Amino acid sequence: MMASLHNNMATEVRLPQWSMGMEEGQVVTWHKQVGDVVAVEEPLVEIEAEKTTDDVLAPVAGTILEILVSEGATVPVLTVLALIGEPDEAVASPTPDRPPVQITPVARRTAKELGVDLAAVTGTGPGGRITEYDVLSHATDTPQDAVGERTPGSTAVPLTGMRGIIAARMHDSIQSMAQLTLTRQIDATELIAYQQALKAEGSGVSVTDLLLKAVAAGLARHPVLNATLEDEVITQHDDIDLGVAVALDDGLIVPVVRDAAAKSLAELSGEVRYLAERARTKSATPSEISGSTFTVTNLGAYGIDAFTPIINPPEVAILGVGQAVEVPVRDGDDVAWRQMITFSLTIDHRAVDGAPGAQFLQTLAEIIADPAALND
């Protein structure tokens, strides 16, 4: 929560930045009204931001003197939402001409790149929201319907909301890092058989759960990968806070299993299911979808063999998991059919060299070959 002094010592309640990718938030519901008395850390307003919904809490005790952003409005992070002070304090009232103009993050970036004054742009989105389409239209000084041709049978989808945030973060990731991807096929025959045996006993543990447990165990041996890089400082973290990518209809979200290496297989499995469900229903809190130290993304369910995952900044590595494929492997004079999975490890070469990445994949192969140990 950010608070500062404003108008005769009244305290500003600002929209916090709950995660690195958050650029704006929408006011959903005010829990308090002007004149209400509030206590410290009492919920004031519900905000929908990036990929979650949460409450902004009162930074101080006092009386709500002004509410500056109405329900339904979307504003940038650090915008003053309300003022708290003493009942008799005089505060400057905002000019009651019109509500704050909603501007998508992509529109802001495009306007900055093109030198467009957003105050001169007319928004055509819901509620007058300014989109990238509007900025481009203004910049080219052409009619609205001439920007981005829309032919019959086609649909124009603005790069906004969650999709816009993901686009911005992935673009930043590629532009700011020296990314290198290492791939290795790992024999997962024993692990898959072990999961089937657990299933026959009534366990709900999935192959993905076993792989996540194996990754956590591997990171414990290779802490150089369980790290973040910010402000030219590499931080290796003691706890392995494992991000697990979950696909949604409008994008991707990464719930975080805290201290994954310290959890039992059953605990990890249960937490993964719980967090995935909260992510899909958009009820996850900011703390549940931020602060990961390493991310795993699994596209095996979609029939993908291998791919190049993009690092989730400020992490220094991400692991992509492909589908299990049955392949023939020489077994003495015979041929055995084995279940092989391709793992794709992308590292930020500024923080991690290729050899440590390869060593991690080697360790992961050894752990997967003895899956029963994951259930100790």
SS3 140: helix
Of 255, 351, 246, 254, which is closest to residue 299 (Cα–Cα)? 246
Backbone angles phi, psi at 219, to 5 degrees: -65, -30
d(CA 87, CA 110): 43
Residue 335 near residue 156 (C-beta atoms within 8 A): no
Q: Choose, from 31, 187, 237, 349, the residue flagged as catalytic.
A: 349
Q: At what angle do helices 161-176 and 105-114 cross, to 10 degrees?
A: 50
Of 366, 342, 363, 365, which is closest to residue 182 (Cα–Cα)? 342
SS3 60: coil
Residue 311 near residue 317 (C-beta atoms within 8 A): yes
**φ/ψ bin of 231: left (φ > 0), alpha (ψ from -120 to 50), beta (otherwise):** left
SS3 365: helix
Give the residue carrying structure tokens 């929408």: 26
Q: Choose, from 239, 353, 370, 376, the residue flagged as catalytic.
A: 353
Give the distance from CA 76 to its chain's centroid: 18
> What type of residue is 353?
D
Of 367, 347, 318, 369, which is closest to residue 213 (Cα–Cα)? 367
Give bridge partners of residue 37 from the DSSP assignment.
63
Q: Find the DSSP H helices in the chain.
A: 105-114, 132-140, 161-176, 189-200, 207-221, 265-280, 354-368
d(CA 365, CA 144): 56
Annotation marks residue 353 as catalytic? yes
Residue 364 near residue 214 (C-beta atoms within 8 A): yes
Give the residue carrying structure tokens 């290198």: 180
The residues annotated as belonging to the active site are: 349, 353
